[in-house]
Amino acid sequence: MDNLFVKILLVLCYGVSRQACAEIQIIGTGTGRTGSTTLQNALNILGYKTYHMKDILTGGKDRIPELDFWFHAFETNSCHDTDELRNIFERGGYNATVHAINFPCHEALLFQMYPNAKVIHTQRTNSEVWHDSVTNSICKLSSSGFLQIMGIISPVFRRFKRFTPLLMGRAIVGLDGRAENVNKQYCLDHKEQMIKFYNSHNARIKAIVPPERLLVLSNHEHGWEPICNFLGVPIPSVPFPHVNKRGSTLNRIYFLVSSILANQADSSLGIIAVVICLLIVLALIRNWERRRVMRRKSKSN
C-alpha cells in the first residue's frame, strides 16, 4: 500500500507539476576555479541533483542543443530564453546549479526564475590565489592540445571548442566577448584585468543578493558545517569532498575523458577506437603532468 501511494505521488509529480519537482533550490554564483566542482559533489551527497558544465561534456551528443543554448547566451551576454533554461533543468531533474556557465543568466536565475532559491557564492581566499590557480590549470589546459584531441573523439567537444573562447572571455578574463588563443602567458599578461573582473564579480553578487539568501564560502575551508547550517540539513557522516585541486589534475581529466569516451562507444568510434584514444590521451596527460612536476622541482632548487 505504501509503495502504491509513493508511485501515485511520483506520477502526479511528473505529469501534473514537473516544474515543482525540479525547481531550482540552490544557485552557485562563483566563477571558475573557486570550488564549483567541490560544491556540486557536496550538494549531490546531501541529496540534490546539481547542474554543472561537466554534465554536458560527459552526456553525449544529445546534449549538444543544450550547449548551443549556452553558446547563444554567452554570445549575446543575456539569458535570452528563460523558458528553455527552465526546460533544461526540468529535463535533467536538477534542483541545484553551480557552474560558471550560469554567468549570463545570473540575474534571471536569482530574481526572475527562482527568487526563493538559496545562493552559495564560492571564492578563493584572495584574488592572487585565484589567478594563480586559473593560470596554472585552465589557461595551461587550453593550449595543451587536450581540447583538440577531444574534439576529434567527441562531437560535444567539437562544439565546446567553439564555445570555450566565449566562456573564458566573459566568465574568467572579464572581456566583453571572446578570449582567443588562451595559454599560460596570456593569463599572466591579462592578470590585472582578470583580478579586477574577479573582485568585481564577487562584489556584485554580494551587493545584489539579500544576506538572508546568501552564503559565501572561501576555499571551502570549513567543510560541511556552513553549507549544512545554511541549508538546514544534518551533516553527513562522510568526509567533505574536496576535489579539483591542482595536484589531482591527471585523475580529473582521466575521469572526464573516460566518461566522454564511454558515451561514444556505441557510436562511430567503436570499442577498440575508444580504448586506443583513451590510451593516447592518458599518455599525453601523463607527459604534461610529469613536465609540470619537473618544472616545480627546478624552481625549488
**pLDDT tens digits, residue range 185-207?**
999 999 999 999 999 999 999 99
Domain for residue 79, yes or no? yes
Say how far apart CA 151 and CA 11 lie, in whole Å: 40
The pLDDT value recorded for residue 22 is 66
Res. 40: pLDDT tops 70: yes
Which positions ≥6 away from 183 have C-beta within 8 Å? 139, 140, 142, 143
Residue 282: which pLDDT band, with cuts at 50, 70 and 90? low
Quick one: which of 7, 13, 39, 22 has its CA closest to 121?
39
Q: What's the start-to-end Cα distance of the chain, in Å?
A: 71
pLDDT in tens, 54-68: 899 888 889 999 999
**Domain total of the chain:** 1
pLDDT in tens, 82-100: 999 999 999 999 999 999 9
Ramachandran assignment for 244, one of left (phi > 0), alpha (psi -120 to 50 degrees), beta (any other): left
Domain for residue 234, yes or no? yes
Domain for residue 301, yes or no? no
Residue 13: which pLDDT band, with cuts at 50, 70 and 90? very low
The pLDDT value recorded for residue 288 is 64
User: Are 131 and 191 a contacting pair, CB within 8 Å?
Assistant: yes
Domain for residue 101, yes or no? yes
Domain for residue 166, yes or no? yes
Which positions ≥6 away from 237 have C-beta within 8 Å? none
Of residues 63 and 287, the one with the higher pLDDT is 63
State the CATH number of the domain containing residue 18.
3.40.50.300
Element (H, E) at 43: helix 36-45
Cell numbers standing for residue 271 = 570499442
Domain for residue 261, yes or no? yes
The pLDDT value recorded for residue 244 is 62
Res. 1: pLDDT tops 50: no
Domain for residue 212, yes or no? yes
- Which residue segment(s) compose the domain that 275 sits in? 2-296
